[in-house]
Amino acid sequence: MHYDSDMAKVIIVMPSYNEAKSVSKMVEAMAGILPNIKDHQVELLYVDDTSPDGTADIVRGLQKNYPWLHLLVNPKKEGLGAAYAAGMPYAMKELKADWLMEMDADFQHPPADVPRLIAEINKGFDYIVASRYIPGGSIPSAWSFQRKFLSVVGNLVARVCLIMPKIHDITGGFKLSRVKGFMDEFDFTTLLSKRFAYKVHLFFYMVQKGAKVKEVPFAFGNREEGESKIIKNEMQETLRVIFLLQWHNPKIRRFLKFGITGFLGFIVNSLALEFFRRGGIGETLHTITGLANASAWSGGLAGEMAIINNYLLNNFWTFKSQKITSPFRFLGKFVQFNLTSAGAVIIQFAVIGSTTHFFGDTVLVRQVALILAIGFLIIPYNWFMYNKFIWKSKRKVSSQK
Ligand SMILES: Nc1nc2c(ncn2[C@@H]2O[C@H](COP(=O)(O)OP(=O)(O)OP(=O)(O)O)[C@@H](O)[C@H]2O)c(=O)[nH]1
Ligand SMILES: [Mg+2]
């Protein structure tokens, strides 16, 4: 095979672990495809973790016939993300890759689709993603319901939580990324997962870097041979990576802190309710005033405890850059905070009142109405009030100067 030296070089990075059964077939399939790609120099790099089934030996044997076939052997198996964290820098530094392709060794990413992805390079894209979730793409029909469900839901959660509505497949592993300005600026020692969830991190990174993304439909095939390495709790790992990615984003971090504070407020509310009710304080207030009953007084006091909890946590943690410190303002704002909290109570009053009026006064209607009221009205309302009134950002004022 002869290539011009200025032709862009694509390295297909293919991690393998116990894939001995498919290596010869894969290399032969590539031998039938790669030489026909005329405008790019395409080479294949196996990244094997010293597979006990001798995958690497088979690759070594084939290297004699195929000069475009490379092999990197890691001493031990640490997971798919770890294999890429070793293979991608190797492909860039040692093999001088201009483009990196991520691809599985078990034929689930059909070799016949490689030229279709590479063909997009010349159209100005930086990140070419084989997508299972756009028209023309698919996941294996043979998968169990559980696996289909986890795949679809995992991907949906990633799209929503990473705020990438326009991307349809974030959790797939067949893609092509530009090296210059993108992968060469990524520090692989910071990759957040050594496992399958590495994909979510790389995707997030590429989009943040401003990559022009192109999704190309493809049918994710059935594993033909060998055994699956996917681990059962991959979903948890993906959620962990998503959380960490967003935790580093100041705006999202603030919103997460606000959410955590609200959740803690709820716990304080419920514990305090029982504390006041059982500890006799509710009873005492009822006796002194002669009004309502012990639980009503306990509930009211517990609500105030939650308000105090939320005020303190939001002031010293969530909005700590706009922290209120002077004692007078601190008290004044606390009164304001109580008023905005009363607004939330009114919202809840109105939503639960009207839904039970129209849909029946049942436990289901009340609880669903409560969740909807919190999710769609109270959270946005509180977020708005805190940002606009209680802990108003001072940035605008200083930028006008
Ligand atoms: N080097 C290396 N490769 C791995 C590791 N884990 C998985 N792989 C390879 O990564 C690719 C994807 O792994 P699979 O087990 O096929 O995962 P999957 O396609 O989601 O699952 P199946 O549909 O069951 O095949 C395959 O080529 C594996 O051999 C690892 O720890 N190290
Ligand atoms: Mg597979």
Query: Residue 200 is part of a domain; what is its CATH number?
Result: 3.90.550.10
CA pair distance 51, 21, nearest whole angstrom: 12
Q: Is residue 4 part of a domain?
A: no
Strands lying side by side in the sheet with 9-16:
69-73, 41-48, 9-16, 99-102, 175-178, 127-131, 213-217
Domain ends where: 247, 265, 298? 247
Contact, 95 vs 45, CB < 8 A?
yes
- Indicate which atom in ligand 1 lies nearest the CA of residue 17: 29
Alpha-carbon distances, residue 49 vs 46, 137, 315 (angstroms): 10, 30, 50
CA pair distance 351, 214, nearest whole angstrom: 43
Q: Is ligand 1 within 6 A of the CB of residue 104?
A: yes
91 and 208, same structural domain?
Answer: yes
Alpha-carbon distances, residue 81 vs 242, 337, 370, 396 (angstroms): 15, 46, 41, 42
Q: For residue 258, how far is its CA from the centre of ligand 2 (angstroms)?
A: 40
- Indicate which atom in ligand 1 lies nearest the CA of residue 108: 19
Q: Is ligand 1 within 6 A of the CB of residue 147?
A: no
What stretches of 92-233 adopt beta strand conformation (E)? 99-102, 127-131, 175-178, 213-217
299 and 261, same structural domain?
Answer: yes
| Beta-bridge mates of residue 122 | none
CA pair distance 395, 117, nearest whole angstrom: 45
Nearest protein Cα to ligand 1, atom 11: 104
- Indicate which atom in ligand 1 lies nearest the CA of residue 14: 27
Q: How many domains does the chain have?
A: 2
CA pair distance 202, 191, nearest whole angstrom: 8
Ligand that comes closest to the CA of residue 103: 1
For the record, the structure tokens of 324 come out as 């209120």
Q: For residue 104, how far is its CA from the centre of ligand 2 (angstroms)?
A: 6
Ligand that comes closest to the CA of residue 87: 1
226 and 288, same structural domain?
Answer: no
Domain ends where: 197, 225, 247? 247
204 and 279, same structural domain?
Answer: no
- For 315, residues 6+ apart whose C-beta sits below 8 A from its C-beta are 323, 324, 330, 333, 391
Q: Distance from first CA to last CA of the chain, Å, rounded?
A: 65
209 and 85, same structural domain?
Answer: yes
Alpha-carbon distances, residue 191 vs 99, 102, 182, 358 (angstroms): 19, 15, 14, 52
Q: Is residue 386 part of a domain?
A: yes
186 and 145, same structural domain?
Answer: yes
Give the pLDDT score at 226: 84
Helix (H) or strand (E) holding 347: helix 327-359
Give the pLDDT score at 274: 93
Q: Is residue 100 part of a domain?
A: yes
How many alpha carbons fall within 13 Å on the CB side of residue 104? Answer: 22
129 and 140, same structural domain?
Answer: yes
54 and 181, same structural domain?
Answer: yes
Give the pLDDT score at 98: 98
How many alpha carbons fall within 13 Å on the CB side of residue 369? Answer: 20
Range of the domain at 178: 9-247
Q: Per-residue pLDDT for the chain (401 aa), expressed as one digit of tens each?
A: 545 556 899 999 999 999 999 999 999 999 999 999 989 999 999 999 999 999 999 999 999 999 999 999 999 999 999 999 999 999 999 999 999 999 999 999 999 999 999 999 999 999 999 999 999 999 999 999 988 999 999 999 999 999 999 999 999 999 999 999 999 999 999 999 999 999 999 999 999 999 999 999 999 998 888 888 876 788 899 999 999 999 888 888 999 999 999 999 999 999 999 999 999 999 999 999 999 899 999 999 999 999 999 999 999 999 999 999 999 999 999 999 999 999 999 998 999 999 999 999 999 999 899 899 999 999 999 999 999 999 997 655 444 43
Q: Is ligand 1 within 6 A of the CB of residue 148?
A: no
Q: Is ligand 1 within 6 A of the CB of residue 79?
A: yes
Q: Is residue 2 part of a domain?
A: no
Q: Is ligand 1 within 6 A of the CB of residue 234?
A: no
122 and 60, same structural domain?
Answer: yes
Q: Is residue 1 part of a domain?
A: no
Domain ends where: 181, 215, 247? 247
258 and 203, same structural domain?
Answer: no
197 and 65, same structural domain?
Answer: yes
Q: Is ligand 1 within 6 A of the CB of residue 150?
A: no
What stretches of 132-259 adopt beta strand conformation (E)? 175-178, 213-217
Contact, 194 vs 234, CB < 8 A?
no
Q: Is ligand 1 within 6 A of the CB of residue 223?
A: yes
Q: For residue 23, how far is its CA from the centre of ligand 1 (angstroms)?
A: 13
171 and 28, same structural domain?
Answer: yes
